[in-house]
Amino acid sequence: MKNNKSIHRQAGSINKLMLMFIIGGIGYSAYIAKQKGLISSGSISSMTASISSKFSSNGDYSGYGIQLMATSQLDQAKTLMNDFASDGYSAFVLASEAKGRTLYKVRLGPYTHKPEAVAVQDKVARRYPSNPYVKSSLVIYRPN
């Protein structure tokens, strides 16, 4: 059985890994949006500053997110995250531990206000009407 220090160290490593996924997803989303002419370079830096203020140093975020999937398979989560990021959405993977297993949650966001998250969920549902992950998506609130 692992001691508390070992478990805490593992959780810290997972949080750092998840922060890398989040930043990667945000960066890729900004790159795609710039390539499509949706935003300018100046918009990217202001967007990055705004988004980074919503994330703490350990990879947690506060606010609303649209959860598309929860899976124990990291590759599956990363694939879905990249699919939505390549379409210009701010997508990220959040890891959580439950009963000794890691669960990877793919979310869009974060959004400061619930109506904003609901509006994006509706937009995504209209854009991807047959996507099973979108059909079963949930708006999730996560406090600090």
Ordered by where they begin, the domains of the chain are 4-142 (3.30.70.1070)
Tokens representing 27?
């960066």
Query: What is the rounded CA–CA span in Å between residue 144 and residue 60?
Result: 8
What pLDDT was estimated at residue 46? 47
What pLDDT was estimated at residue 144? 66
Sequence-distant (6+) residues with CB within 8 A of 42 are none
- Please name the helix (run of DSSP H) or strand (run of DSSP E) that holds residue 91, with its range, or none: strand 91-98
Is the predicted pLDDT of residue 23 greater than 90, yes or no? no
Query: Between vectors from CA 102 to CA 98 and to CA 104, what angle results, nearest 5°?
Result: 110
Query: What global pTM score does this model have?
Result: 0.62
Is the predicted pLDDT of residue 51 greater than 50, yes or no? no
Percent of the chain with pLDDT over 90: 52
